[in-house]
Amino acid sequence: MAETDSAAQAATSHAFEAEVDRLLDLVVHAVYSDRELFLRELVSNAADACEKLRFEARRNDALLKDDPDLRITILPDAGNGTLEISDNGIGMSREDLQQNLGTIARSGTRAFVEALHAGEEAKNLIGRFGIGFYSAFMVADRVEVLSRRAGEEQGHRWSSTGSGAFEIASADDAPSRGTRVILHLKENAREFAEEHRLEHVIRSHSGHVPIPIRLGKDGAFREITDGSALWLKPKSEISADDYADFYRHVGGQFDEPSITIHYSAEGRQAYHVLLFVPSERPFDLFDPERKGRVRLYVRRVFITDEADLLPSYLRFVRGLVDSDDLPLNISREMLQESPMLSQIKKGITNRVVSELKKRAEKEPEGYLKIWQTFGNVLKEGLYEDFERRGDLLELARFRTTKSGEDWRSLKEIVADFRENQSAIYYVTADSHAQAAASPQLEGFRARDIEVILLSDPVDHFWARMAPEFDGKPFRSITQGAADISNIPRAAAAEDGDEAPTSDVATLAALVKQTLGDVVGEVRPSDRLAESPVCLVAKEGALDRRLERMIRRQENNQIPGTAPDLELNPRHRLIRHLSAEAAKGGASERLADAAWLLWDEAAILEGEAPSDPAAFAARLTRLLLPSEPQG
């Protein structure tokens, strides 16, 4: 048994995953303009380890008993060319070392590599892609990690040169608790073994880490940050740089916060809030497995960052909430059910939405940048959050048939309604260009009616769920009857004769008879001005593009609804076919024309003909010259 235990603790060598190996090679050999950011990453890791220990000690106070004062220590050694960053936090076991320091999420690594090849700077990449610990290889040609998990007897050593493999072995010289990271600095990075250089970097990038940081050598230390809680200080004592520095620490970002929300709530629940709206999109914004980015503290003790403190459509917000009233021993189950936490969530959600509205009103250009970055996420709230839907609709900005490259609010759109207009019109498509080219827009353009162009996947869902804005209902221009005949056409759109109503009715009846159940209703169109035909969904049915999206997801297991076909009485082709139908009734030529009109309408929507062979045969027959009579 002793031999077995000894073998289990022997040094073992492991290869990094292939993508990690590639990433490390890029980190080591790429030229970075801001290498000092590695220290901020290692200090943040150390602070997180200390906060995790505080959390664990709530259930087992023996973990802190022998060494209760948590701290981060920076030890430079210019003579030996080393730099040590140590903490007396939670520490890591052998398994922790292998999992935490030997693996990077595949998607994050791939995105990092692609971004690096695209020429993005290191300061953006580290924060966006979470390479964290691995940034040490920017300045070190060898890294050692000595660690002992709190409550365990055996310590371990992790070491690597960043060249494709790492080694883990038992280590009796590991700290009694916590972690020591020892960097063997490259010759061109010896500046990071100088105290004055380190102090400048720490104060610049980690000055508000909530764990005291001390710097020194030979047993002589001086405290350069006190670990005070920035969120408990009066706003008048905090500079913009202080906020930005803390945002980068707590959010893992390297951009500037576009909005800072700092306040204390009193009353039934007392809590302190420090939240940030980023200016750049986090790389994991649409990762279905992503965790929360708002930390929960109770009286300055870190509890969790998975407390679901904001709705998912505000998942880009970073920061923390520190409660005075929640119990320190709150469990995960209590977090899920706590009415106190529900009140906090409601309060901070209302505050974030309110701050966004203030920015939209007072600094519309600055708010527009936020919308362009996070608008497609905020729109999720339009169908998720009934309570705040009105506020979110006020925040929404859209491209329209009149806006060009600009963005319009619903308030501006409603203010420019045409005479007799009673609804807000929109069209959904897979891209902005496709939406702008929709044939269903023609009649609206002819009447100078503004239509919202929607192309985000989320638009298919919220538009059906939002009943109105300012008393005006939302209506899809590809669904139901257009109902715009009472809005006058622009003078320039009045040209062109219209086929007699009776002739169009005859053609519509013939087309319906020919197509059968493939089509719903066939009728003259108010919404067309240039195209001969278009397809529209029935009133109350799913929008055509939403239906196609759902059917693709369900592998066409859900039956579709037959759409209506609309004919443009002003179009030369429809006038000609209407006259022919009125004279001769049904014929093979008109039957072919009916199917070709159907296929043309589908092609205008970006679809292929339902039967390409039959489509080609009909088109060929139509193009052939008529056979001479007897």
> What residues does CATH 1.20.120.790 cover in the chain?
497-538+554-623
464 labeled part of a ligand binding site: no
179 labeled part of a ligand binding site: yes
pLDDT for 597 equals 94
pLDDT, tens only, 406-456: 999 999 999 999 999 999 999 998 889 989 988 999 999 999 999 999 999
Closest CA to 179 of 52, 293, 302: 52
489-498, 540-549, 618-627: which has the highest mean pLDDT?
618-627
Q: Which residues contact 338 (CB under 8 A, 6 or more apart)?
A: 326, 330
485 labeled part of a ligand binding site: no
Burial 425-441 (b: 16+ CB within 10 A, else e): bbbbbeeeebbbebbbb
Which tokens in the block code for residue 393?
């609709």
How far apart (Å, rounded) are the C-alpha atoms in residues 413 and 360?
16
How far apart (Å, rounded) are the C-alpha atoms in residues 27 and 20?
10
Domain 231-364 grouped into CATH 3.60.15.10: no
Provide the 8-state DSSP code for 571: S
> What residues does CATH 3.30.230.80 cover in the chain?
231-364
Q: Alpha helix locations (H) across 93-146?
A: 94-101, 106-117, 122-129
CA dihedral of residues 359, 363, 364, 366 (deg, nearest 10): -90
Which of 37-41, 103-107, 537-541, 584-588 is predicted least confidently?
Answer: 103-107
87 labeled part of a ligand binding site: yes
Whether the per-residue pLDDT at 22 is higher than 90: the answer is no
Which tokens in the block code for residue 563?
């759409």
Record the pTM. Answer: 0.72
pLDDT for 173 equals 94
CA dihedral of residues 59, 64, 66, 71 (deg, nearest 10): 180
Confidence at 124, pLDDT banded by 50, 70, 90 = very low
pLDDT, tens only, 259-312: 999 999 988 889 999 999 999 988 778 876 666 689 898 888 778 887 889 999
pLDDT for 21 equals 58
Whether the per-residue pLDDT at 1 is higher than 60: the answer is no
CA dihedral of residues 126, 128, 131, 135 (deg, nearest 10): 0
Residue type, 576: H
100 labeled part of a ligand binding site: yes
* Average per-residue pLDDT for the chain: 85
Residue 559 burial (C-beta neighbours within 10 Å; 0-12, 13-18, 19+): exposed
pLDDT, tens only, 209-225: 889 999 987 778 999 99
Which class does domain 497-538+554-623 fall in? mainly alpha
pLDDT, tens only, 156-190: 999 998 877 889 999 999 999 999 999 999 999 99
Coil/strand/helix, residue 225: strand
Fold of 2-228: Heat Shock Protein 90 (3.30.565)
Coil/strand/helix, residue 189: helix
Confidence at 55, pLDDT banded by 50, 70, 90 = confident
pLDDT for 48 equals 87
pLDDT for 310 equals 93
β-strand pairing of 294-298 with 271-277: unpaired
108 labeled part of a ligand binding site: yes
Neighbouring CB atoms inside 10 A of 522's CB total 24
pLDDT for 579 equals 92
> What residues does CATH 3.30.565.10 cover in the chain?
2-228
Confidence at 326, pLDDT banded by 50, 70, 90 = confident
pLDDT for 331 equals 66
**Contact predicate 296/309, CB 8 Å:** yes
92 labeled part of a ligand binding site: yes
Whether the per-residue pLDDT at 4 is higher than 50: the answer is no
Q: What's the mean pLDDT in 48-63?
A: 88
pLDDT for 491 equals 59
